Amino acid sequence: FIENQPPETLDWLKLREKHDHSILAFELPERTNSQPSFMGVDTGSPHGVRIAPELWTQWRKDHPHAPTTLSAYVMFEIGLVVSEETWADTIDLNGLKLNNVPVGPMNLHEKQIYPEGTIAVIGLQALRQMDAYFDNANHEIFVNPLDTAPVKYPHNMIGAVFTPAGLDGGSLIAHVVKNSPAADAGIHNGDVLLKIDDLDVTPWRTTLGILPLSRFFAQAPSTVIDLTLRRDGKTMVTNVTLKIILGPTQE
């Protein structure tokens, strides 16, 4: 018995913290190949669930038509990361079922810093989809996943990112998801981004107010933005209509 613990939490799923580790991680109810499995918690991440690479590969095979977008972010330890994101109405993390969360792959740094056997790392968007009670004294968390409408998730609503080859400068090169609003607008992988509406983005490395580009692609749905691109030495302008990509499956 834990003094002052709300009584309704006693029936919730209980996970033990791996408290001998420097990063917040909890042991999941089910094992992987007879070995303990863990879930990391990253309160500095706005994302939902990032799963181990082998699980991500299987997830994509099992959900080949899931709406997909891209995110791009920088981590001090490993540099620029471009990652796919899709949506899970439900995902089972070795006995912990989460509902209505964005899903993507863990990055290399997460694989390195979380304990061996970590199959997922959850961020703020996944935490918003559960009630939780932390028992610090006993290194435990009591979790009650919610099956309610998800909190609005700001995400890339064109299905494309524009990133340089390195962080020291260079052209912003398009990476485009098939069947995305960006693809529908005729944007190709390898296109070079020159302008967003009237904003010249080419001096992104030296001029304040250009980055992050993600703010332009997470505006209100149905917003139309004009992108000036260069392809094979020719300049072109296309307009892209922002569309909600990540959200509950519509019946």
User: In terms of C-beta density within 10 A (0-12 exposed, 13-18 middle, 19 or more buried), how is residue 105 classed?
Assistant: buried
pLDDT at 188 over 60: yes
Summarised one tens digit per residue, pLDDT across range 100-109 is: 999 999 999 9
* Secondary structure class of 143 (helix, strand, coil): strand
Q: How confident is the model at residue 151 (pLDDT cuts 50, 70, 90)?
A: confident
Look up residue 240 and give its two tokens: 């892209």
* pLDDT value of residue 44: 92
Mean pLDDT over 127-144 rounds to 94
- Chain segment 52-67, per-residue pLDDT in tens: 999 999 999 999 999 9
Helical (H) or strand (E) element with 50: strand 49-51
- CA nearest neighbour of 87 among 40, 34, 48: 48
Rounded to an integer, the average pLDDT of 112-128 is 97
Q: Which range (15-19, 148-152, 181-185, 192-196) has the least confidence?
A: 148-152
pLDDT at 250 over 70: no
Domain ranges of the chain: 7-145, 160-241
Q: Please give the model's pTM, rounded to 2 decimal places.
A: 0.92
Cα–Cα distance, 237 to 240 (Å, whole number): 10
Burial of 119 (0-12, 13-18, 19+ CB in 10 A): buried
Output the pLDDT for position 167.
Answer: 84
Is pLDDT at 21 greater than 90 in this prediction? no
Q: Note the pLDDT of residue 1.
A: 45
- Among 43, 74, 110, which Cα is nearest to 214's? 74
Which CATH architecture is the domain 7-145 placed in?
Answer: Beta Barrel (2.40)
Please provide the average confidence, as pLDDT, over all residues in the chain: 94
Looking at residue 103, what is its pLDDT?
98
Considering only 71-80, 110-119, 123-132, 181-190, which range has the smallest mean pLDDT? 71-80
What is the predicted pLDDT for the residue at 76?
84
Query: Would the pLDDT of 251 be above 70?
Result: no
pLDDT category, 3, cuts 50, 70, 90? low
For the cut 50, the answer to whether the pLDDT of residue 168 exceeds it is yes
Architecture label for domain 160-241: Roll (2.30)
Task: Give the per-residue pLDDT at 20.
Answer: 77
Q: Taking residues 179-184, report their average pLDDT.
A: 98
pLDDT band at residue 214 using 50, 70 and 90 as cut-offs? very high
Residue written as token pair 């810093």: 113
> What type of residue sits at position 131?
D
The yes-or-no verdict on residue 180 having pLDDT over 50 is yes
